[in-house]
Amino acid sequence: MSGDVPKIRLRGLAKAFGEKKVLDGVDLDIRAGHGMVILGGSGSGKSVTIKCILGLIQPDAGTIEVDGRDILAMSRREREELNDRIGMLFQNGALFDSLPVWENVCFKLLAQKRITRAKARDKAAEVLAQVGLAASVGDLSPAELSGGMQKRVGLARAIAAQPDIIFFDEPTTGLDPIMGAVIDGLIVDVVKRLGATAVSITHDMASARRIGDDAAMLHKGKIVWRGPAASLGHTGNAMVDQFARGEREGPIQMELRR
């Protein structure tokens, strides 16, 4: 596989907010059709990295290539076309609270006119079933859902348009263990069935091993390790092993974040 162009290639990605350097030269290749898991302490810049790839945050320096094309140099039009093929689950769900759940789920399909409003309810029910929600949930408003249900609706919305690349920002946080495993299964299935590339952020090691083929660890603005997700916990890299096992003692010291 090493000869192939990676689906996503980051080189020297840097981003600072004011004085604070969040990303400081991130280099990362993400293989097409595989699951990549990004690990890292809270506040290490995982969400910022994904938002840079999505074009929601403008990086200060570095390049981002998707399918070998530099996306920072793309025209607005090309960028929009790329976004049409990308799905995203936001860390907090980011559901539209002015719209019922079914419209949230089918939002992208409706926006791209791939479906009529009349058919959208049925389609939403179908996708909701995949994330373990009853069709009746479709008529509720997001504010009427529990946190875990919101997450699952966010997931349904991210996969409904059958994207080519999907980002999951903490897909299983806030779910019970069984539902977490179901969602992991779903992510694996989406990658297999759609041939999609999935990039997930997670703090849950069991989940990371299930959904990831590859894993990478972000620490102090750089990728400090990358390797097979299956090896997490016994990678031989002291930092990653400490993180994966959740040990207090080790090379990563709890520090006061500024």
Partner 1 sequence: MGAVALFALQGLSHLVRPPFYGRLFLRHLVEIAYFSLPVVALTAIFTGMVLALQSYTGFARFNAEGAVANVVVLSITRELGPVIAALMVAGRIGAAFAAEIGTMRVTDQIDALTTLSTNPMKYLVTPRLLAGVVALPFLVVVADVLGVMGGWLIGTTKLGFASLSYLKATMDFLQTMDVVSGLVKASVFGFVITLMGCWCGYNSKGGAQGVGAATTAAVVSSSILILALDYVLTEMFFAR
Ligand X SMILES: Nc1ncnc2c1ncn2[C@@H]1O[C@H](COP(=O)(O)OP(=O)(O)OP(=O)(O)O)[C@@H](O)[C@H]1O
Residues that bind partner 1 (CB under 8 A): 51, 54-56, 80, 83-84, 86-88, 90-92, 94-98, 107-108, 111-113, 157, 161
Residue 133 Cα distances to 25, 40, 130, 151, 245, angstroms: 41, 30, 7, 11, 32
Query: Of 216, 149, 232, whose CA–CA distance to 157 is shortest?
Result: 149
* Interface with ligand X, residue 228, by CB under 6 A: no
Number of H helices, E strands in the chain: 9, 10
* Interface with ligand X, residue 202, by CB under 6 A: no
Q: Which stretch binds ligand X (CB under 6 A): 40-48, 100-108, 157-165, 207-215?
A: 40-48
205 residue type, one letter: M
Kindly provide the b/e burial profile for residues 213-249, where b requires at least 16 CB atoms within 10 angstroms of the residue's own CB.
bbbbbbbebbbbbbeebeebeebebeebbebbeeeee
CA angle 180, 6, 157 (to 5 degrees): 35
Strand ranges, E, within 43-176 = 61-66, 69-70, 86-89, 165-169
Residue among 48 and 124 whose Cβ is closer to Mg ion: 48
Strand ranges, E, within 71-164 = 86-89
Q: What one-character DSSP code corresponds to residue 121?
A: H
| Residue 48 site contact among Mg ion, ligand X, partner 1, none (CB < 5 to 8 Å, cut-off depends on kind) | ligand X
Query: Out of 8, 10, 13, 22, which residue is the one contacting ligand X (CB under 6 A)?
Result: 22
| Residue 92 site contact among ligand X, partner 1, Mg ion, none (CB < 5 to 8 Å, cut-off depends on kind) | partner 1
Residue among 35 and 45 whose Cβ is closer to ligand X: 45
Q: Which stretch binds Mg ion (CB under 5 A): 56-64, 72-80, 89-97, 243-251?
A: 89-97
| Binding flags for Mg ion, 37-56, as an x/- string (CB under 5 A) | ----------x---------
**Residues in contact with Mg ion by the rule CB under 5 A:** 47, 91
**Residues in contact with ligand X by the rule CB under 6 A:** 17, 22, 40, 42-48, 91
